[in-house]
Amino acid sequence: MTNVNWNQLAKVVPQPPQWKIRWEKLDTTPLLPWIARMQQTPQNPHWHGEGNVWTHTRMVCQVLADHPDFRTLPDTQREIVFLAALLHDIGKVPATRLTDGVWTSPGHARAGAKIARSLLWREFGLSGTAERQNRRESICTLIRYHALLPHLLDRDDPERQLTRTAAQGEFCPNFSLSLLKLL
């Protein structure tokens, strides 16, 4: 079943020449329950006026699909960054809470990487071969660090943090800061 699930998930990724996101391919995958939960997970309107996590996710994926840099990526990198965009806020499902009247999602990137890793491994079969493991870990690393660049200058030692993040590419050959920037 996992190969069937992976094939369905991979078909969502926009391809030339139309660059259409095939959202309907998700309807028969193990992501469907997560999508329902993302639709019910609110976001802080100050940062995300679009409302729920799923609406935001779809918007992010569409902007990515329309981006010229995305369209020039090799197939594997295009798949990795698109699936990272699709799953980048999945961690908001368990992390979101109302604090002093404001919706917050502390630790959602780390939680999202763990959820994505489990789903990609168990439900989509990204395990076994080194190529499948590298693909999975590259997606999860992008998810883990997706919020880093917009907040990098708020950190105590941004240069050190950027260097540590860039070093992740030694463990995940398909991870790079340029893909993180695109995400």
List, for residues 76-100, the tens digit of each pLDDT value: 999 999 999 999 999 999 999 999 9
Contact of 126 with 132, CB cutoff 8 Å: yes
Rounded Cα distance, 77 and 134, in Å: 11
Task: Work out the pLDDT band at 50, boundaries 50, 70, 90.
Answer: confident
pLDDT higher at 27 or 83: 83
The SS3 call for residue 17 is: coil
What confidence score (pLDDT) does residue 171 get?
64
pTM of the full structure: 0.90
> Which of 42-56, 75-89, 147-161, 167-181 comes out lowest in average pLDDT?
147-161
What are the beta bridge partners of residue 52? Answer: 42
pLDDT in tens, 122-132: 999 999 899 99
* φ, ψ at 46 (rounded to 5°): -65, -40
Structure-model confidence comparison of residues 170 and 9, the more confident one: 9
Q: Average pLDDT, whole number, for the chain?
A: 88
Q: Are 111 and 97 in contact (CB under 8 A)?
A: no
